[in-house]
Structure 1
Amino acid sequence: MSEKAQFPNWKIGIFVILISLSALVSKAGKSEVTKESMIPHVSTEFAEPKIVGPDALCVVFGQVVGTYSAGGDVGDVYDWTVTNPAGEVILTRSGGEQLETIQVVFSEIGTYTIALQVRRGTNFNYYQESKSVEVQKGPQLALLPDYLLCAGSATVLTALDPSSSDISEFTIEWKDIDGNLLGTGNEYLTYSAGYHLVELYRTGANGAQSCLITGSTFVGPPIDFEIELSSTTFCEGGTIEVGLDTPLTGDWFIQKGFTGARELAGQGFEIEFESEDLSGPGLYIVTFQTTSEEYPDCISERFVGFELLESPQATISITEQPDDCVLTNGAFDITLSTDVDALYIPELNYTQGSLSSGQSISFPDLEPKVYSVVIEKAGCQTTTLVQLDSKNPPTSSNPPSQTPPTITTTDETCSPNGVVSGNVNVQFGIPISNGTYRILEKGRGLTDSGEIPANGEFQVELKDGSYLLEINIDGCTYPIEEIEIGDAPQVNFTVPAELNICETFVLEPDTDQDISFTLTYPDGTEESLNSGQAFTLTEEGEYTIFGEGNGNNANLCPKIIEFSATFSKSISFSPYLAIDKCFDPIRFKIELQGISIEEASIRWFNDQGDIVGRAPEFYPAGVGLYSLLVQPLASGYCPVDPVEFEVVAPITSVPMNMAATKICPLPSFGVVTLTTDEEEVANTEWIYYDSLNNRQELPEFLGQFEIEVTNPGTYEAVAYNQMGCEIGRNLIAVEASTLLTPPQLDDTYAICSKKNTMEGINPGDYESYEWYFENELVSTSSTYKPTLVGEYSLTVTTIDGCVFTDSFTTYDACDFQVVYPNAMVIGDSNRNFGVIVSEGVTEASLYILNRQGALIYQEDTQEIAYETPILQWDGMMLNGKKVPLGTYVVVLLLRNPTYGFEEKLTGSLLVIE
């Protein structure tokens, strides 16, 4: 068997050595973000952590991937470190259950070390282990990315270079896309199209497996197309239409079951099978074959199956014919040969539900008539006509007389544009006053009915087929006539019912007959060609193609087929990352607008222009530049530019910097802040550990980067990307503050608007201070001396970050008021001299001097009642005598040692009587 390798046409498979470039991005949209609590535990085999994975691997195509699991419990956090043979760290990963299993890419020959540290709760060193992995040079692979599959022949797939000396050391298994084993050995002979998987590994002397390699290739025909069925099942008496998703012409074959002989069924763009053309109910395989200019010796073939369902069957027996044409003493029985879902007889208005095989039903007292017996089963329907004629000759005593009509039939005939229907003509030769007719087609039922014209003549057009004619005159049913209408065969050719034009479309009607074609374009112009020649279509719209036979086919009727053409829709497409699971290999899908993905031809190219994929999904073998080209099917070539894109290494981790304040008395919480790359983080989750290492999830903080907490303990933040994949985590301890003393402030403080030596307010020892007057910051000093009257507030922050706030008001103690008289009446106690002062004066002295400056009276007081007279003088001098009438000098000294001020007031006093 010769090997056929196809580059780069049509289906190209990519041999993948499972290079796992873990992709962590998804298409934007609305999916629920995965939480740690939602992630199923990956491994339950081990109650305690343990590294599980291959001890030996083989490098093929420069690198190989190994998968390693750790086990453990839900909530464990895994820290992986991988070092290469030179001792250099090539991979570090830290995370929760999504990192219970990791994939490591090995690219060098030698011994690698995989180290694992597991944190359980707040115990960072709960488990530690390291594992050595021996990486060897792998075998020389010979598997191609794509193989041609030609009709009638198989293709040989080869895994390793046959000249390799170590083939016998490997076990090689071939599997289908679902993982089912297809065969073993270095070579595999396949007749099947599609992806084929290969798995090979070296078996050591001790039976241990190593050097595991997996890959895939695609096997397919040169031309990419699919067969489309109008239905996967149809019933006896019906038809099924078979076509393609691409306008191709070729040969159609049919066979019954997988062991039946394959027979040529026809040629063309499509084909139709009638149940009468098949050999009874069962499974049928229809095959289509065509060729391409690029590979003329390799026939492209596809096949698909459909099922012809058995229609329900019944045996009908006429048990009694009516004695004459008007009597109702006829009868027939129905015996079911199969189970049925329903039975109908429209002429009797009879309906019956489910019936069993073998069951019989009798219908007596019937008039002469054609009865339609309709039975249904599993969607299939059978109509049987019961021809219940009256006895001939009649056996009644006085049967009605009958005038037999003349009945003639005409077969279908050719017309200039196709086929003219046949007809049946009925002539009584005499007037008819009360007559009706019905025409019923065998296997189908009523086709036409009506009243017979008064002149006794009527004609009905009929297509080819077998019919029963029922005539009733004045209640007398005439003998039922059987009618046959012959077929007028037409020329045979096919064109696509619909096609899509990209600039131009070359249309050659498919036929094996000598036919002249005339194509009418949408604008009404015509073009004529013979079979074997092609029309070039450039206009969208409705087309009509007319074909008439030449030579030996001139006796066939012409045929007209209408079809429509559209210009290729304006399409736009772009690749996007589409990953369903965390740390899966990078996968791209297509965002396609204008046509559905089923209507598209897809090509993925690498940076060298090689086709590396044809499916709606694409798994790149590595980072780098790629491009995507999408063309609409059912059309000619469309000038569409490829879309370039770059595959980059995904973001697998982000920084997780955390800070926390201590929990303070007011407002009784601490603040935990996460600083990270918020553009990459789609969601966050928070976890709390108490002093006993009990774990509690905090769903109320989902998605937050800063949280307020009230309980001391350890708080852990977990970051997820848009896929819900963990890309970072960290934790921090939060303590309760022990610095709980608020600032010591009075409710009110005095200020002195005059020059003074007052000290500032000292609220205590704190880390920072903020003094506000009327909500405006006025100082950040540890002490503060207010200068204005009003409302003040103080905010202090302890070294633990706790904030305390208090407030106070001020009054101006130095802005006092003094009232004393400028005259007094000697001997009148109500009009003595006295001084009244306002708040702020704590000491006062009074001096009264005569005009010569001699002191005649002096008094000191520290007992000051505000708004009450002090320093009262009744006019008695220091010498005990009454003061003479006249004018005197008054000197007041007002003091407040607390505020450090003293004020002297001088005035005059008139003493009278």
Structure 2
Amino acid sequence: MLFLQKDWSEVFPIEKKSQEHTYKTTNETLIFGPDRICNYFGTVIGSFSGGGIPETDVYSWQITSPSGEVEFDRTGGFQAISFTFSDVGIYQVKLEILRGGISIGSELKEVELVPSPDILLEENNFLCAGESLDLVALNPESPEFEEYQFEWLDEDNNVIGDQNTISISTPGFFSVRFFLLDSEGNLECETTISTEVLDTGAFSILSDKSEICPTELISFSSDPPISGDWFFEKIGDPGKFFFTSGEEITINPNSALNGEGDYLVYFELTDPNNPNCKIETSRPFTFNPEPQIEFVSAESADGCSGTDGKLFIRALTPIDLLTVEGLGFSELDILEGEIVEIPNLKSGAYSIFGQLGNCFNTLTAIVPLNNPPDQLEFEIVDEIGETCTDEGKLEGSFTVKLENTGTNGGYRLFNERGALIIESSLPGTDEFTLTVPGGNYFFELFDESLCNLPQSEKIEIESLNLVSYTSPTFLSICDEFELTPQTSQNLEFTLTYPDGSEEIQQSGQSFTILEEGTYTLVGRIPGQSVICPVRREIQVEKVEPVTFEPVLISEDCFGNRTFEANIFGRDPATVDFFWFDENEDLVGTGQFLNPVSTGTYKLDVQPSNSTACSNDPIPFEVREPVLSVDISLTTTKLCEFGPEAIVNLETTFPDEVTDIRWRRFNEAGEIVELPQFNDLNEIQTREGGTYEVAVFRFIPGISVEECELGRATVQLDLTPDKVAFDIPSELTICERFELIPDTNQELDFFITSPSGSISEISTGESIVLDQTGVYTFLAFDQNSPTPFCPEQKEILVSRVQPVVYEPVLVEEFCDGSSLYSAELQNYSAEDVVFFWRDNTGNLLGQDQTLPITNPGSYFLEVQPAESTPCEISPIVFEIAEPVLSVDVSLTSEPFCPDASSALVTVQSDFEQITTIEWWFTDPDGNQRQLNDLTNEREISASLEGTYEVRVFNNIPCLLGREEILILRSQDEVRPDVDSVYQICPRLEIAPEINPGNFAGYEWYFEGQLVSTSPTYKPLQIGNFDLIVTSLEGCTYSASFETEEECELRVQFPTAITPQDNQKPFLIYTNYLVDELELWIFNQWGELIFHCKNDQLITEESTCLWDGTYRGEKIPNGAYSIRINLVNYEKNINKTQLGSLMVID
């Protein structure tokens, strides 16, 4: 069948099909769920499920409230639902099940929402020793109380009762399960509650301390932890007073208690179900006063080392322990008003510590020094109090004047509470000034021997008050900030900006802060110096406005949505969120919002701990949630041969639909899922049946789950009427045939060839058939609209294939003629016709073979014998001019005396040659074929004689032959060189070596080619090789080495015997000497022999002398020799002297 893509709505108009539901009733139960639901907490969720087959069925649920209002109405593929019940009374739950758009059953079920019983069991109950306790689960006045059943369990899950009330005599954990039974005995409204029965004797109070000072806090808690009432009672006062309720408390004794003393803290708890059993436990603690002591008098110490000084201290409160810092003195249990004497003291300032309980207090006391040494005498002068400045106050000061400037030692300054303020070495001047805050101080001086001289009187530095105001030390602003210092005084404020500019405002007025940086604020009362100004720094940081936008991040199927304030990576802890609903009411301050209404909301996000930025809130729309949509399905006709029927889907709120799923119910009621149509609003199909579509909403990243918005069905049936046309059912062709379908209607034909290609023609037009197989003709009415469906018919085409052939050379002959044959691949010879033609078109033959004697172009055409000619072109083939002979030549290398063979090479037109034969004839005339050298173009001739080559073509015909005579060379000439040569590289002196007359020369030094000249002058020390090529082409080699000799040398004997042929006077020179001249003198200086030679031969003797002078032997004795040596090339002259002994 043929499927085409086309807008068929123009051909087949869309028809609206309505759907009618037939409601059926059945005795089978369709709704499964409770008959009764208990409302214990205001609302309760009830769950129901339906029968049927969830994979195929559609469920239509409806729930009506006791008032008759439909509160739930949903249709979809959900077999189970959950509903929140809130109104006490009878609800109606209705379910209709549809399969393939047809109702297969419905049911109505009544569900009663029962109000919650009145639960009396408390979370905690109390049991007093020796008593029992009645635990009651429900108020007997509760609705339907008589129908409830009970089951009590102890902490080991043992059943201990089955009534509303149970008697308990031991503490522990207990639970009760109560429930109702429906008509079939199933549990309903099942609930379990628990309680802990506590033993009142097991309670206690825990605390972190048992004594407390005025500057400390104390905490109490109940054990076990439980909320109750807390009381305090001061021992000696009538009654106790209530403090607060809870599990634990922490108090400040100065504000919570009635002065110092001994106290009891009480924890009390009463069980309303057992008012006679009351928890009451207590714990004692003491609120100690701060110990108070005062200085009474002092007795001076006599001298620096004297220890007879005394202090007298009065206890203003009881004192548990009195000690002196740095001494071993201590006094216990001092009564109020008692005076304590502290004896054996050296002069100086002392810190006195008083302890009462765990509370402490200190003061400073002075032991004066009688008869102080002169070097410690001093005077306190110029006691100056604190003074005001423009921005605050200066500390006060006093001056110490020393009587003796040479004093070495130090000083100490104590405050009146005994704290050491300053300890330092003396500055080395006769007076110095100390700067201190306002207050009372004691001063003492000491020398290197630790002799202490205190100032007996207090040093009083007047203290000044500061103005009072508050201002932030740090500001984080966005755009600007109005700074208003807070004060109850009439102050003038000066604000210094980061750029140094100043602004003055009065109390209650504001400064505008725009820039970040460090600001300085000074508050003062103008025109007076009693109350000093206060200067404060304010660090201003400017923060960027928050970039934000509201984003919907979550939405479920019931309209619940979550919006997020997207702050683009900024830390949520650093910003504040403000969500406003459609009424401009603030409804959220977190990063996320779950709106409960619809309309235009707004979001504002501001930096935390900063002034608000001026950006406007961003509005966004919270739309009414779309929980369902209306669905409309329309279809075109369904035809057997197409076009495919179009099913079109339209919905309300199309933008809400994100997913679409289709399925089909066939006649057997089976469901066929159609995933290929997922998410399509329009589908095309060739299958009849009931089509169902379900639409869903799912937004990735937002939707919590896929929500069904609705579903609908439509019935699609086959239309029988078709267009009319005729074509043959079978047709045989050779290669192609033009066919015109027979019809009297105006049709469009879509023809599918066996290869699958589609052609389109209209009535009266032809189609070329050129493939073997079935052609499918699908015809459509050109008129629109039309009552006819397309018709489809087929033609089986048998096709005779063209002959696959080629001309093939069968045989060639040595006279140049050949025999050709037509080689067939897909036919036998009897089923075809042969046509051989020359280049003029003349028919030469119709047999399968054809002899050809002339070169040229020829044509072969082969057609099927029982078919019209196929549209083919004859095959052209060329007969080339035959090659009957070729030129052949032989060349040979010389057969050198030392060579084992000579290379013989044949030259010819090898493109024409198929076979090469080699033959050998020895000097005796014996001939043989060299079979192992067949088809070789080069051979090695190792024997003297005649070598012949014969060449053949592929027929094989002899095309040519050639001979060559090979004889071994008789040349005996070899290179003539010495084995060693003396040279002088630095003087560039060396012999010119001439090895002889050859055709080529190659001189190598240490393996590297250095020259190709006939002669060579070596100037390097080492080994040389010479390779020469003879005129016949043979190569010969020789080697020599060079030795360095750069001195002109001569050798001669040191003694001779005159006229002794065995011991003559001979002189030798080396190769550097070109000319030699010799003089021999007797002892009187007379020349007796002279020789000069400029034709010297290296290492051959010259200047032969027999030891005679003028024919007579010379007498025995010593003779002087002088030799001159000359080198012509480098113009070197050398003279050598020597002596010669003549012995006869």
Q: Which has the higher contact order (CA 8 A, sep 6+)?
A: 1
TM-score, with normalisation over the residues of structure 1? 0.38
